[in-house]
Amino acid sequence: MDMLRISGLRKRFGDKEVLRGLDLTVPENSIFGFIGQNGAGKTTTMKSVLGLLKADGGEILVNGERVVYGQTATNRHIGYLPDVPEFYSFMTAPEYLDFCGAIGGMDKRETSKRRDELLELVGLREETHRVGGFSRGMKQRLGIAQALLARPKLLICDEPTSALDPLGRKEILDILLAVREQTTVLFSTHILTDVERICTDVAFLHGGTVRVQGTLGEIKSRFGQDEYLLETDSEAHLTAITGAFPAVRRGTGNQLICSVKDTPAFEVLGFVSAHRIPLVKWERVEPTLETMFMEVIES
């Protein structure tokens, strides 16, 4: 079953129409990357899923149940890490999780057990300082632990890595990968390399709608331009090739990029062979999400 299904979601703020009929389907057990530029409407979408914003149209189903604005029934399936999580700075991490368990009506013994498991998972088990002294990365990790406390079926994280350095980002991504066994993960981001590292599924949000959605593999094969990288040993040989095939582009150093769309790769190889040009490298260029995203937003 789909863990989250959004259809035709509309939302405007004043005369600004932010979501214009957004459709999104998050399959169970996926790690779903929700990609969009600043202001695209990622947070607006997530808050609508949580029933915190009143949509102007459309339907949202969480685990098959309809979300109703202002009601929290569907939120029992969801753990949420907001874009800027707030904590009581005077508490320690275990105190904070105990507090969240208590206000969530969880059994005390169950909370203690889950608290220790989660602190271990997010690498804060040995941490005795108060949250006020935590780094941003530590706060995000505690926020994920808090979001997972009640064993949600769906974990929603709003830009969990955006404010972090590469090491802090890696720590968060590793945690999201590790929790995949327990829960479906939906996270928003504009850092495409993070998505490529851990996501099974992605959606590009642009202009108020989801432009492209699918598994990472599907999207790569759909959008991937067939390109080859050719490297030879000298400027003279490069010039010979570009002279014969004007559509071949210069890369870095002694490299050329040959797009199959413009120039059949085997003709280039035939030319290289006929002129006995030494090849240092000939390889297929893997399309990146970055190039696909640019293609989507420019279309």
- Contact positions vs ligand ATP (CB under 6 A): 13, 18, 36, 38-44, 83
Which of ligand ATP, Mg ion, none interacts with 40 (beta carbon under 5 to 8 A by kind)? Answer: ligand ATP
**Region 38-77 residues binding Mg ion, contact defined as CB under 5 A:** 42-43
φ, ψ for residue 141, nearest 5 deg: -65, -40
Which of Mg ion, ligand ATP, none interacts with 39 (beta carbon under 5 to 8 A by kind)? Answer: ligand ATP
Which range in 37-45, 48-56, 223-231, 266-274 contacts Mg ion by CB under 5 A? 37-45
* 133-155 burial code (b ≥16 CB/10 A, e <16): ebeebbbbbbbbbbbbbbebbbb
For ligand ATP, the closer CB: 13 or 128: 13
For ligand ATP, the closer CB: 210 or 268: 210
Residue of minimal CB distance from Mg ion?
Answer: 43
For Mg ion, the closer CB: 37 or 234: 37
Which of ligand ATP, Mg ion, none interacts with 225 (beta carbon under 5 to 8 A by kind)? Answer: none
- Name 173's Cβ contacts closer than 8 Å, sequence gap at least 6: 161, 194, 197, 198
Which of ligand ATP, Mg ion, none interacts with 114 (beta carbon under 5 to 8 A by kind)? Answer: none
Which of Mg ion, ligand ATP, none interacts with 44 (beta carbon under 5 to 8 A by kind)? Answer: ligand ATP
Angle between helices 93-103 and 108-121 (to 10 degrees): 140
Based on the shown chain and the rule CB under 5 A, indicate whether residue 254 belongs to the binding site for Mg ion: no
CB of 189 to ligand ATP, least distance (A): 9
Round to whole Å and give the CA distance between 156 and 189: 12
Do residues 220 and 251 lie in contact, with contact meaning Cβ atoms separated by under 8 Å?
A: no
CB of 42 to Mg ion, least distance (A): 5
Number of residues forming the site for Mg ion (CB under 5 A): 2
Round to whole Å and give the CA distance between 12 and 33: 24
CB atoms within 10 A of CB 213: 18
What is the Rg, in whole angstroms, of the alpha carbon atoms belonging to the chain?
A: 24
Question: DSSP secondary structure string, 35-88?
Answer: EE-TTSSHHHHHHHHTT-S--SEEEEEETTEE--TT--GGGGGEEEE-SS----
Which of Mg ion, ligand ATP, none interacts with 13 (beta carbon under 5 to 8 A by kind)? Answer: ligand ATP
CB of 62 to ligand ATP, least distance (A): 19
For ligand ATP, the closer CB: 137 or 160: 160
Edge to edge, the sheet with strand 249-250 lists: 249-250, 255-259, 227-232, 279-285
Give contact residues for Mg ion (rule: CB under 5 A). Answer: 42-43
